[in-house]
Amino acid sequence: MRQSVRIEQIRLLYANATLAGSVTVVAASILSYLQWRVIPHPIVLAWLAYMIAVSLIRFGLGQYYRRLADDSHDTHKWMVAFLIGTGLAGAGWGAAGLVLYPEAYLTNQVFLAFVLGGMMVGGASILAARVEAFALFILLSGLPAAIRMLLQTDDVHRAMGLLAALYIVAILITAWRVYLTIVSSLELRFENHDLLASLRVSKNRAEALAAGLLTAQDEEHRRVSRELHDGLNQTIAILLIDAELLERQAPSSSDRNAAQLRSLRSHITELSDDLRRIVHQLHPAALEQVGLVAALESFCAEFSDRESVSVRFRQRHVPGSIPPDIALCLYRVVQEGLRNVVDHSGSRRAVIVLSGRATGIRLSVRDFGIGLQPEVRDKKGLGLLSMEERARLVGGSFSVNSRLGKGARIEVLVPLGSANFSLPGAAGDQEEISGRIKAFSDGD
């Protein structure tokens, strides 16, 4: 961080180089004009030419730095170059306190002291980014005039020299405090920059971890689903066949045994149905076999029968081909969304709408229950976070809109690139579907 602060300090110095050069030329010109009558002309012209030449050199150096400077440049080289230019400018103003000092004209002496004081104050503010810069300029520009006045024999000039020396000390102290403020500000800025960079890295790691966990979860669900289907499901099927054989082979007079066998076969059938449902929830193979739309239609119908919740599924302009990861994301959102309807909303109705748009595919899961409390909606529970993370992983957006007593709506919008959005079915079918959707919504 120290190197970064130093680089930024040098940038601040060079950023003010043009301003410093312009002020120097203007102030030097005004001072030369006023001293023209009391100082030999060759001295005034030589001094003014020197100040203009130094200003042009500093201006050119500043332009060169702005064109070439970057973090990889040798900061020491640029700092030395700047100090040389600053020293030349300070020496020029210090020389003004000697060669442009009119012995017999007090008014011109006072004006000279005024100009030198103003240049020192301006230099302290412009050069405050580095101690070497402002200390060099202030001492070189102010000390010669102060020493010259202190060496005079009359009390007025000695008093002026003493005040000039005190003025120089006060300017140095003020510039030092400004310097400390600049350094603290830069250090805080780079600390915040490092902190933000660290937070971004942590956020990226957390997102990568979440993505890995969801992927691992889906893979584990797929593995368990396959094992249940290939192992336990086959065993249950064999048990069901054996129960049916025993039921057919049981003596007709043994009504009690026949009833027990029928009950056993019924329980095995229920167990098989439950297992099939669990396998389907763990890994919806229908997504790969019949596609997202048919898989959601089947799931919504099954969910309605099982949970006694009226689930209406509607689809419009859904593209014929949806990437598997996006299809799985949307399917899982519907699963989790309907589970939230049963567990939290108190609603006995839900509407699922899957529609294709020019920007992608949109999924809406709406209920008509009690709605979400603001703190629940803002903080988001595990289910909402899981849905949001799944949407983010496929480049989509996730939102929750809810009003107390008015239900809640979960929306996911996933971009699909150049998907082919075709309206499935005949126009009459679509009009019928649209009418049924409108009738259902109006009834809500």
Contact 133, 82 (CB under 8 A): yes
Cβ contact 393:329 at 8 Å: yes
pLDDT of residue 173: 92
Domain range list for the chain = 2-199, 287-443
Task: Give the burial class of 410: count Cβ atoms within 10 A of its Cβ; 0-12 exposed, 13-18 middle, 19 or more buried.
Answer: buried
Give the list of residues 6+ apart from residue 222 with CB closer than 8 angstroms, or none: 282, 283
- Give per-residue pLDDT as tens, 75-123: 888 889 889 999 999 999 999 988 988 888 888 888 888 888 888 988 8
- 360-367 and 397-403 strand pairing: unpaired
**β-sheet with 360-367: strand ranges across:** 310-316, 349-357, 360-367, 407-414, 397-403
Least confident piece of the model among 163-172, 174-183, 408-417, 428-437: 428-437
Over 90: is that where the pLDDT of 233 sits? no
Asked whether the predicted pLDDT for residue 418 surpasses 50, the reply is: no
The reported pLDDT for the residue numbered 53 is: 93
Helices 324-340 and 382-393: crossing angle in degrees, nearest 10, is: 160
- Measured from the Cβ of residue 397, the count of other Cβ atoms closer than 10 Å reads 14
Cβ atoms of 100 and 39 closer than 8 Å: yes
Q: pLDDT band at residue 430, thresholds of 50, 70 and 90?
A: very low
Instruction: Please tell me the distance from the alpha carbon of residue 402 to that of residue 165, in angstroms, as a whole number.
Output: 72
Distance between CA atoms of residues 364 and 181, nearest Å: 54
Higher pLDDT, residue 157 or 260 = 157
- Provide the H-helix boundaries in 228-323: 233-249, 255-282, 286-290, 292-307
> CATH code for 287-443?
3.30.565.10
Please indicate whether residue 381 or residue 398 has the higher confidence score (pLDDT). 398
Cβ 168 vs Cβ 147: under 8 Å: no
Residues 7-28 have a mean pLDDT of: 86
Q: Strand 349-357 relative to strand 310-316: parallel, antiparallel, unpaired?
A: parallel
Q: What are phi and psi of 209, to 5 degrees?
A: -65, -45
pLDDT attached to residue 363 = 92
- Beta strand 407-414 with 397-403 is antiparallel
pLDDT band at residue 383, thresholds of 50, 70 and 90?
Answer: confident
> What are 308-366's pLDDT values in tens digits?
889 999 988 888 788 888 888 898 899 888 888 888 888 888 999 998 877 789 999 99
Q: Which amino acid is at 231?
A: G
3-state secondary structure of 361: strand
Tell me the per-residue pLDDT of 197-216, one tens digit each, with 9 for 90 and over: 777 776 667 666 666 666 66
Separation in Å, CA 397 to CA 250, 340, 357: 61, 19, 14
How many whole angstroms separate alpha carbon 89 and alpha carbon 10?
Answer: 18
Mean pLDDT, the chain, as a whole number? 79
Section 266-286 average pLDDT: 69
Question: By the 8 A CB rule, do 58 and 109 touch?
Answer: no
Helix axes 292-307, 255-282, angle to 10 degrees: 130
User: Does the pLDDT value for residue 428 go beyond 60?
Assistant: no
Amino acid identity, position 355: S
